[in-house]
């Protein structure tokens, strides 16, 4: 008898890494996957106290650019006044940078030294 070289059986192919997958019974099943994408880094816009910017101006800026009602804006302004700084809002990097620019532009236009900064959180 002529013996023919036989290949060893190929290893079973790996399960596909994508969903959906067909199980032994032919049903389509969804596999739970661990989340691979990190949530984006967020930034807090912090407004700083100074001795010259009028309180009313700060309240209006917080209302206008951080979408706060007058009551909330007043509380934030007073926190800045008393503590030296306070967070006005939390945003993605680009939105936070835009808020800082808007505040700086409005302050410069009005001739006030009001400053705010964007800081990564966590």
Residue 46 CB, nearest distance to ligand TYC (Å)?
10
CB atoms within 10 A of CB 35: 6
The C-alpha atoms of residue 122 and residue 113 are separated, in whole angstroms, by 29
Segment interacting with ligand TYC (CB under 6 A) among 9-17, 41-49, 63-71, 100-108: 41-49
Tokens coding 44: 């807090």
Q: Of 43, 45, 53, 91, which lies in the binding site for ligand TYC, with binding defined by CB under 6 A?
A: 53
**Is 103 one of the binding residues for ligand TYC (CB under 6 A)?**
no
The C-alpha atoms of residue 50 and residue 81 are separated, in whole angstroms, by 8
Q: Of 19, 21, 23, 55, which lies in the binding site for ligand TYC, with binding defined by CB under 6 A?
A: 55
CB atoms within 10 A of CB 19: 11
**Is 114 one of the binding residues for ligand TYC (CB under 6 A)?**
yes
The C-alpha atoms of residue 89 and residue 75 are separated, in whole angstroms, by 13
- Dihedral in degrees, nearest 10, Cα atoms 36, 40, 41, 46: -160
- C-beta nearest to ligand TYC: residue: 80
Q: Of 16, 20, 54, 120, which lies in the binding site for ligand TYC, with binding defined by CB under 6 A?
A: 54
**Is 73 one of the binding residues for ligand TYC (CB under 6 A)?**
no
Interacting residues with ligand TYC (CB under 6 A): 47-51, 53-55, 58, 77, 80-81, 114
């Amino acid at each position: 008898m002529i013996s023919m070289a036989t290949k060893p059986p190929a290893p079973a192919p790996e399960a596909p890494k994508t969903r959906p997958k067909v199980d032994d019974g032919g049903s389509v099943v969804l596999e739970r996957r661990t989340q691979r994408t990190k949530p984006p880094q967020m930034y807090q816009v912090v407004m700083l106290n100074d001795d010259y910017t009028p309180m009313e101006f700060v309240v209006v800026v917080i209302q206008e650019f951080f979408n706060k009602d007058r009551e909330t804006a007043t509380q934030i302004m007073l926190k800045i006044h008393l503590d030296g700084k306070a967070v006005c809002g939390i945003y993605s990097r680009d939105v936070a940078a835009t808020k800082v620019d808007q505040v700086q532009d409005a302050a410069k236009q009005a001739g006030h030294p009001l400053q705010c900064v964007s800081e990564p959180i966590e």
